[in-house]
Structure 1
Amino acid sequence: MPSDLAKKKAAKKKEAAKARQRSKKPEEMNGEAEQPDAQPNGAESNGVASLTKELDEFELAKTEARAVTGVLASHPNSTDVHISSLSLTFHGQELLADTSLELNSGRRYGLIGLNGTGKSMLLSAIGHREVPIPEHIDIYHLTREMAPSDKTALQCVMEVDEQRIMLEKEAERLAHEDSECEKLMELYERLEELDADKAEVRASRILHGLGFTTAMQQKKLKDFSGGWRMRVALARRSSNRKFKRILVLISHSQDFLNGVCTNIIHLHQRKLKYYTGNYDQYVKTREELEENQMKRFNWEQDQIAHMKNYIARFGHGSAKLARQAQSKEKTLQKMVASGLTEKVVNDKPYIYKNLEFGIDLDTRVALVGPNGAGKSTLLKLLMGELLPSDGMIRKHSHVKIGRYHQHLTEQLELDLSPLEYMMKCFPEIKEKEEMRKIIGRYGLTGKQQVSPIRNLSDGQKCRVCFAWLAWQNPHMLFLDEPTNHLDIETIDALAEAVNEFDGGMMLVSHDFRLIQQVAQEIWVCENQAITKWNRDILAYKEHLKSKIEKQTHDI
């Protein structure tokens, strides 16, 4: 900050604080915060503007169909938000009923719950100030991903610091105008938040925390899916390392929630329930609470059954027994009147139920079963890309997992050659000839190594991914349908590479040829369970054949 601004800041700040009365609307805040993204360059502008208009109309329609009630319970000047008796309905459907919203300054909340329970609707209601949040608390509601562009993810986060220059110039101009103390105060606060020192390191660290590898940080925004561009938008908003405000986010990534959140809010049965800690701590705490709740519930039900049985048997017996029966009936009535413990109701639906297993660096297992049984879902759960409805997935803090899936080729930079891409991803390899040898091990030779990746066949693109994946030196490999675009020779080469790999492996595949070569165990995923198949894959193939023939015969 220029020295003349620093001198005037102290004198202006006290006066500005008294005069400042914020009346900024949410939409004004949104426009200020994301101004660099508001006008995409090039021919995309009209399309993006049209889409934005449609989204605005859709948001307006949702707002008009929503009804929210609640009472401010915190002090009007507090930086915390406490709302009591909060209810939320949408098209007449009650999503929240007489619950409390409690958000404390400096905490980062992960809002979780089943799809359709009202998580996004709640954030939208907060963003539109339909709940009684004090006017001095600004709200930024991130609802859209960044527009596609040629900027890299890292550039998009770093450019937020470029606002500092503009803000400094504006603050210098306003410092000489006494009538602008309110706006000057806002500029001073924003300048404090924007620290350009070590911008690249800070931006890279934020992106890494959101799941971006070093290679992905250099990838153009237009090559990301909407979900990843949403994470870039979030990274831009999180680029202030002194973030002391309230953050509420919705995510289905266990690793993301563990790395970001200080608290968890669980939307369950139209109530908001609060847990201290990240997602793993939430699971542990919830398990303990539900275990105690079920113990209490079972004890109460046993007592009720015992008293009802006694009353039924002796209520019309001798005078002594009848008096005892009447006493038990009064006790029962008091228990009911004071409120009985509710039975634990778990979130539904389940793809798997009551799974318990472990894997290590000696694991060589193939997951088989019908489509839709949850084979790929299991890998995503183990990776932390999805959250379990109940229970916990414990992963060693130092284990490194490499996962191949059918969409992995989408992260390749198509304008680069395989050689250029690998040299960029692994800059520690200085010699091109050394990298050529590495790539050559995966069946890419000669001109294939120096041709743009976009000119390669699907199978050749897969080989680039295998080279990239293997050179990360993971401890475990998760392979999800790796043979979709491979010929028989390449499948055999993949099998040889997997067998030489010194680590654990989980494979999802319908390719019996590959399974037969690399799997030491077969796990069948079916009927919400995983069952170990005690014979080889060929026997399982015959089992499937017999099953299909029987079904055909029955028809």
Structure 2
Amino acid sequence: MVLIVILPGVLDADNQGVIPHWRNLKSGLPAKIPSAIGCFKGRMMGRLVVRLWHRRPGEAVAVPFLEVSKARLDRVWKVDALTKELEDFELKKAAARAVTGVLASHPNSTDVHIINLSLTFHGQELLSDTKLELNSGRRYGLIGLNGIGKSMLLSAIGKREVPIPEHIDIYHLTREMPPSDKTPLQCVMEVDTERAMLEREAERLAHEDAECEKLLELYERLEELDADKAEARASRILHGLGFTPSMQRKKLKDFSGGWRMRVALARALFIRPFMLLLDEPTNHLDLDACVWLEEELKTFKRILVLISHSQDFLNGVCTNIIHMHNRKLKYYTGNYDQYVKTRLELEENQMKRFHWEQDQIAHMKNYIARFGHGSAKLARQAQSKEKTLQKMMASGLTERVVNDKTLSFYFPSCGKIPPPVIMVQNVSFRYTKDGPWIYNNLEFGIDLDTRVALVGPNGAGKSTLLKLLTGELLPTDGMIRKHSHVKIGRYHQHLQEQLDLDLSPLEYMLKCYPEIKEKEEMRKIIGRYGLTGKQQVSPIRNLSDGQKCRVCFAWLAWQNPHMLFLDEPTNHLDIETIDALADAINEFEGGMMLVSHDFRLIQQVAQEIWVCEKQTITKWQGDILAYKEHLKSKLVDEDPQLTKRTHNV
């Protein structure tokens, strides 16, 4: 591991999103780190941000932005010892996962068929005696409830803990790129090690003037990789993900974690692996980039497996759906909508078969009980039915359909307050005196009947607007007036950072809301957000990201806000939870402003679409689906190559 210590002096940049928050990783760190941070805080009069990155063996500890003597660091703790502890922690996590399976496809096949697949983590059985089928040319959406083990399965595949032939190269996108002096373009180009190796080998053979047949093979492979167009292709991918030409030349250390994740995604798309594994690839993207990525992935011709909470994205990309349910992997042909239709039909037929079998069993058992000891004729008939019953039992009975637990979110009644609730009057804003204007002369009002989705490219100021409305930021010019009694609840991507990871959800909520004295009453409240049983009393650090989000929603709802400001609320939530959130928003009595990359959620809850762009806000004349078509038409103008490739698939 590399320990990166960011010292005071760069924290202003951190507050503007330039540097990612360390708490995103805090849940996975040993207990020593928070206390060490506290020690630094006291000695150095400032906060520290601690982040971990995989390193090559022997690579030194990196301390960017400001030189710090080793002696000073050693006064707080031994860096080498801490590094070793963190490495041991990662090894223990990997050791806690056990995977078994048998390769059933031919070792030289481009398809992967694994039978008898089982997956456990810390003794919990996630998959049991199931099969993994991944066929070349197919794009799979892996779906299932939060915490069921989707990411764990993807990680096991990516680390080849399942028996995948060596000729199938795998690229698993797991984390953002670490800060460095490299540019995004350099980072993308350097990942294509095959192209670089082939070019070096071709140059060597050309100088030796030998092995002409081998040289021809190398040139054919380089042509297949578009080696002469590699830089243009890398630039095109970065542009599609939102990087302007000037941004492509900036240093990586000047970007936020979200933008560095885009660079990591660009590397994955550039390298064109035989098997590409993506876990929530849209989480750090705006709607423009989501539309571009959807069109780009439609052209992927090998094996793609992606986890996504966006039904719209799954519909646009996937040719097949894998449903992880009840410790099995179930396969469906078609996109998400087709999966829903097919699954419903199959489950209806399964329940019809189940009820028919149960009726037959009850009838035969009743007949055997009544006539088994009757006349010879009736006894023979009873014996015949008993044999039939035994055959039915031996051949296996149809199981009852076990549906996922229904989930319902709840926002309590907030009461009425007279309009105007919030008035924005001639507001302009920029972060620094010499910085660019984010907004100029905004003028609008919002009330309890407001249902608005904010859209626009990254950096246009969507999250900034929410911070202005809540008072986290102050206008540079103009005024924002709020009703004296209004309560605002803001959900944002870093809300999990406030959670005390050592407490259970039950303990945390009781601490936050001491007026609720009875544990059973609080259990019922938390249960409304999909956390039940052991999940309520386990340390929050042991919960999945999606389950932590539910704790945040429970905490937010019981503030009893009049206005909900939701900034990317769907990150880490499963599809069922997002639908429950949409239902709760629609039943909520107060106002709502939403920033989201999930087209379907916007379609479900927003009555108006406001476009944040070019220092102002304009109302979109149409719904979010019309806005998506508008973004697609922009793609046609900006990237004709993408459109041609999509039509050829």
Q: TM-score range by the shorter chain?
A: 0.5 to 0.7
In 1: Cα distance, 2:222 partner to 2:90 partner: 29
In 1: Cα distance, 2:564 partner to 2:132 partner: 53
1:484 corresponds to which letter in structure 2? T
In 2: Cα distance, 1:237 partner to 1:442 partner: 43
Deviates more, 1:185-194 or 1:72-81: 185-194
The residue that corresponds to 2:408 in the other structure is 352
The residue that corresponds to 1:330 in the other structure is 387
Give 1:340 deviation, angstroms.
Answer: 0.7
Partner of residue 332 from structure 2, selected from 248, 260, 275: 275
More helix by share: 1
1:199 corresponds to which letter in structure 2? R
1:289-342 C-alpha deviation (Å, 9 max, x unpaired): 222212211222222223223333443444444443333322222211111111
SS at match of 1:63: helix
1:446-491 C-alpha deviation (Å, 9 max, x unpaired): xxxxxxxxxxxxxxxxxxx97969xx9x9xxxx9999533999634
Partner of residue 137 from structure 1, selected from 160, 168, 171: 168
Call closer, same or farther: CA 1:54–1:151 in 2, change over 3 Å.
farther
Partner of residue 233 from structure 2, selected from 195, 199, 220: 199
2:412 corresponds to which letter in structure 1? G
Q: Say whether the 8 Å CA contact 1:264–1:275 is kept in structure 2.
A: yes
1:131-177 C-alpha deviation (Å, 9 max, x unpaired): 22222222333322222468887886588689978964663234335
Which residues in structure 2 correspond to 1:49-128 (within 5 Å)?
57-128=88-159
Q: Say whether the 8 Å CA contact 1:369–1:526 is kept in structure 2.
A: no
| TM-score normalised by the chain length of structure 2 | 0.46
The residue that corresponds to 1:484 in the other structure is 470
In 1: Cα distance, 2:318 partner to 2:127 partner: 23
In 2: Cα distance, 1:120 partner to 1:134 partner: 21
In 1: Cα distance, 2:582 partner to 2:444 partner: 39
In 2: Cα distance, 1:72 partner to 1:135 partner: 12
Q: Say whether the 8 Å CA contact 1:265–1:274 is kept in structure 2.
A: yes
Q: For this pair of structures, how many residues does the alignment match?
A: 383
SS at match of 1:95: strand
% identical aligned pairs: 63
Give 1:440 deviation, angstroms.
Answer: 1.2
1:222-262 C-alpha deviation (Å, 9 max, x unpaired): 68775664454223211357743322233333333333332
Call closer, same or farther: CA 1:288–1:187 in 2, change over 3 Å.
farther
The residue that corresponds to 1:440 in the other structure is 441
In 1: Cα distance, 2:398 partner to 2:194 partner: 55
In 2: Cα distance, 1:416 partner to 1:277 partner: 53
Call closer, same or farther: CA 1:174–1:122 in 2, change over 3 Å.
farther
2:302 corresponds to which letter in structure 1? R
Partner of residue 285 from structure 1, selected from 342, 347, 362: 342
The residue that corresponds to 1:43 in the other structure is 64
1:85-132 C-alpha deviation (Å, 9 max, x unpaired): 222333444332222221112222222223443333333333333322
Call closer, same or farther: CA 1:140–1:158 in 2, change over 3 Å.
closer
Call closer, same or farther: CA 1:110–1:532 in 2, change over 3 Å.
closer
Give 1:69 deviation, angstroms.
Answer: 2.7
Q: Say whether the 8 Å CA contact 1:109–1:262 is kept in structure 2.
A: yes
In 2: Cα distance, 1:42 partner to 1:145 partner: 18
Q: Say whether the 8 Å CA contact 2:117–2:128 is kept in structure 1.
A: yes
Call closer, same or farther: CA 1:101–1:165 in 2, change over 3 Å.
closer
The residue that corresponds to 1:369 in the other structure is 412
Call closer, same or farther: CA 1:88–1:200 in 2, change over 3 Å.
closer
Q: Say whether the 8 Å CA contact 1:442–1:466 is kept in structure 2.
A: no
Partner of residue 314 from structure 2, selected from 247, 257, 264: 257
Call closer, same or farther: CA 1:91–1:159 in 2, change over 3 Å.
closer
Call closer, same or farther: CA 1:64–1:170 in 2, change over 3 Å.
same
Q: Say whether the 8 Å CA contact 1:158–1:203 is kept in structure 2.
A: no
Call closer, same or farther: CA 1:139–1:184 in 2, change over 3 Å.
farther
Which residues in structure 2 correspond to 1:156-171 (within 5 Å)?
168=199, 171=202
Q: Say whether the 8 Å CA contact 2:238–2:263 is kept in structure 1.
A: no
2:397 corresponds to which letter in structure 1? L
Call closer, same or farther: CA 1:326–1:485 in 2, change over 3 Å.
farther
Call closer, same or farther: CA 1:151–1:270 in 2, change over 3 Å.
same
Partner of residue 178 from structure 2, selected from 147, 153, 165: 147
The residue that corresponds to 1:30 in the other structure is none
The question of 1:312 aligning with 2:369 is answered yes
In 2: Cα distance, 1:161 partner to 1:187 partner: 16
Q: Say whether the 8 Å CA contact 1:71–1:85 is kept in structure 2.
A: yes
SS at match of 1:309: helix
| TM-score normalised by the chain length of structure 1 | 0.52
Call closer, same or farther: CA 1:92–1:144 in 2, change over 3 Å.
same
In 2: Cα distance, 1:316 partner to 1:151 partner: 88
SS at match of 2:305: strand
Call closer, same or farther: CA 1:314–1:466 in 2, change over 3 Å.
closer
Call closer, same or farther: CA 1:253–1:300 in 2, change over 3 Å.
same
Q: Runs of 5+ in structure 1 lacking a partner? A: 1-33, 354-366, 372-411, 423-438, 445-464, 496-507, 516-524, 538-555
2:314 corresponds to which letter in structure 1? L
2:408 corresponds to which letter in structure 1? Y
1:64 corresponds to which letter in structure 2? A
In 1: Cα distance, 2:359 partner to 2:249 partner: 62
In 2: Cα distance, 1:313 partner to 1:203 partner: 75
SS at match of 1:238: helix
1:203 corresponds to which letter in structure 2? I
Q: Say whether the 8 Å CA contact 2:118–2:130 is kept in structure 1.
A: yes
Q: Say whether the 8 Å CA contact 2:202–2:218 is kept in structure 1.
A: no
In 2: Cα distance, 1:214 partner to 1:443 partner: 34
SS at match of 2:324: strand
1:441 corresponds to which letter in structure 2? L
Q: Say whether the 8 Å CA contact 2:181–2:253 is kept in structure 1.
A: yes
SS at match of 1:442: strand
In 1: Cα distance, 2:386 partner to 2:258 partner: 59
Q: Runs of 5+ in structure 2 lacking a partner? A: 1-54, 69-78, 273-295, 415-428, 446-452, 487-556, 566-578, 591-649
The residue that corresponds to 1:457 in the other structure is none
SS at match of 2:443: coil
In 1: Cα distance, 2:315 partner to 2:373 partner: 61
In 1: Cα distance, 2:102 partner to 2:196 partner: 41
The residue that corresponds to 2:323 in the other structure is 266
SS at match of 1:287: helix
Give 1:272 deviation, angstroms.
Answer: 1.7
SS at match of 2:385: helix
1:35-85 C-alpha deviation (Å, 9 max, x unpaired): 9xx9999816999x9999877544432333333332221122112211222
1:188-222 C-alpha deviation (Å, 9 max, x unpaired): 636632444853774157537xxx99999999966
